[in-house]
Amino acid sequence: MTTRMKAVGVAQAPVVRPRPYHVVFSIDEACELLGLRKLDQVDDGETSDEELEGYVAAVWSVFSTLCKEHGVSLVEVDALTRILKPEVSWVDVCSHLRVTIHGVGLFQFDRLRDLIVSFDGKYLPKRAAVDHLHWMKDWPRVYEGSTTQSMMSKALRGR
């Protein structure tokens, strides 16, 4: 990531220190999780600051929408970083993710506990939730007949 990209939209938010219960996500991690282009793929050297700021805002908008559907809230650290924390608990987040996974239909976890212990029986709820967050990108397809890319297009037009 270039210095220019780091400077985009640097209206400094108050410093928020993550707790062990929280998860820190960068804009590029959010893009990767959602199957969107990362910032360095968007910035071709001729991209204006306004376009980059719009892209960043759209990514966070889509990511926030999908997180809310899965019981996760976002706290802004700075323009390019968010802290993810469960609205209720990581077990609740796993429950929401399990519903999305069932909607995709590739496989099912019969019980919530099956999802939580799905990795050699050694998962803690937080780790299980974080490792299954990538299923969020399928939520629009399952419940809206849409995609994260079309959500992104709408978010970019809405700016």
**How open is the CA angle 137-33-35, to the nearest 5 degrees?**
70
Q: What is the pLDDT of residues 60-102, one digit of tens each?
A: 999 999 999 999 999 999 999 999 999 999 989 988 998 898 8
Q: What is the pLDDT of residue 12?
A: 47
Q: What is the mean pLDDT of residues 13-23?
A: 60
Tokens of 142: 């399952």
pTM: 0.81
DSSP 8-state code for residue 84: E
Selected residue with higher pLDDT from 4 and 117 = 117
Of 69, 60, 56, residue with least CA distance to 97: 69
Q: What is the mean pLDDT of residues 24-44?
A: 93
Of 60, 78, 56, 76, residue with least CA distance to 12: 78
